[in-house]
């Protein structure tokens, strides 16, 4: 059975739309844990567009399950990770202009640098995951540079335009998860997973963990609206 890590970045996105103090992603993390999630994921971006340094520090104090910090492999982020000591770091590529992480890491090209970063983090007992496309060259490179986990990018699967393409991408995820596992890597997956497409991925044997953000926060807004409006109506009347 796959574990669920809930990415709470977009709670902070709503806060930053007004540059105010609510909704607080730290409060959201507590509720996410109480609801039964296995872990909290957040992405501290270079531009701090949603999660802030303050959030990460408080999350480290509050999260009781498992804290997975997504970050670019920059010197700044490595220093922050070594101070905060999340349970896991997931290294992702980061471009300033993107709306969300658009592709996997190029571990083949940046292997030497990543190896250094990984050994530095692991020396501080941080489990390291690399976010990669379901591509055998990247997976072999991830094993070679000493990662503990890979997170398979499920974007192509999630964005598939028809059933055939979806099945093709699902099979690729399965094959690559098996290959990674044979290389000694633990496997998670994420990006674009939602209430319609998650089940076939959750059923893949070698995928231990799913990291899901946008669809859960989106649903929370809708399922929470009824109560939120009723509470305001009660106050006004």
In the complex, the residues that contact ligand PXP under the rule CB under 6 A are: 7, 9, 43, 70, 90, 92, 100-101, 131, 151, 190-193, 211-215
- Residue 37: phi and psi, rounded to 5, are -65, 155
The contacts of residue 55 (CB under 8 Å, 6+ apart) are 12, 25, 26, 42
Cα distance between residue 51 and residue 91, in whole Å: 16
| DSSP conformation class of 3 | E
Q: Which is nearer to ligand PXP, 222 or 234 (CB)?
A: 222
Concerning whether 153 is annotated as a catalytic residue, the answer is: no
Q: Which residue in the list 50, 151, 191, 209 is annotated as catalytic?
A: 191
Beta carbons within 10 angstroms of residue 148's beta carbon: 18
Give me the least distance between CB of 164 and ligand PXP, in Å please: 23
Q: Which is nearer to ligand PXP, 40 or 230 (CB)?
A: 40
Q: Which is nearer to ligand PXP, 84 or 236 (CB)?
A: 84
Q: Which is nearer to ligand PXP, 84 or 104 (CB)?
A: 104
Q: Which residue in the list 70, 156, 169, 209 is annotated as catalytic?
A: 70
Q: Which is nearer to ligand PXP, 138 or 211 (CB)?
A: 211
DSSP symbols for 166-188: HHHHHHHHHHHHHHHHHTT-EEE
Q: Which two tokens stand for residue 109?
A: 């090209």
Q: Which residue in the list 43, 50, 66, 153 is annotated as catalytic?
A: 43
Give me the least distance between CB of 43 and ligand PXP, in Å please: 5
Concerning whether 70 is annotated as a catalytic residue, the answer is: yes
Give me the least distance between CB of 190 and ligand PXP, in Å please: 3
Give me the least distance between CB of 229 and ligand PXP, in Å please: 26
Q: Which two tokens stand for residue 30?
A: 């507590």
Give me the least distance between CB of 28 and ligand PXP, in Å please: 14
- Taking alpha carbons only, the member of 3, 87, 92 closest to residue 44 is 92
- Taking alpha carbons only, the member of 41, 57, 53 closest to residue 189 is 41
Q: Which residues are catalytic?
A: 43, 70, 191
């Amino acid at each position: 059975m796959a574990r669920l890590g809930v990415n709470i970045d977009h709670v902070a996105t709503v806060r930053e739309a007004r540059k105010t103090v609510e909704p607080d992603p730290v409060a959201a993390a507590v509720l996410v844990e109480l609801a039964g999630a296995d872990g909290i994921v957040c992405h501290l971006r270079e531009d701090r567009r949603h999660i802030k340094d303050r959030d990460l520090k408080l999350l480290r104090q509050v999260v009781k399950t498992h804290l997975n910090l997504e970050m670019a492999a920059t010197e700044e982020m490595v220093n922050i990770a070594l101070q905060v000591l999340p349970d896991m770091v997931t290294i992702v590529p980061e471009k300033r202009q993107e709306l969300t992480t658009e592709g996997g890491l190029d571990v083949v090209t940046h292997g030497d640098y990543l190896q250094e970063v990984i050994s530095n983090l692991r020396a501080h007992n941080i489990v390291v995951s690399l976010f990669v496309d379901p591509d055998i060259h990247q997976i072999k490179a991830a094993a070679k540079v000493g990662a503990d986990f890979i997170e398979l990018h499920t974007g192509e699967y999630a964005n598939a335009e028809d059933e055939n393409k979806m099945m093709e991408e699902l099979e690729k995820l399965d094959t690559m998860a098996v290959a990674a596992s044979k290389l000694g890597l633990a496997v998670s997956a994420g990006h674009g997973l939602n209430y319609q497409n998650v089940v076939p991925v959750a059923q893949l044997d070698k995928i231990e963990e799913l990291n899901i953000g946008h669809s859960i926060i989106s649903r929370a807004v809708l399922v929470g609206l009824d109560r939120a409006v009723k509470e305001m109506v009660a106050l006004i009347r």
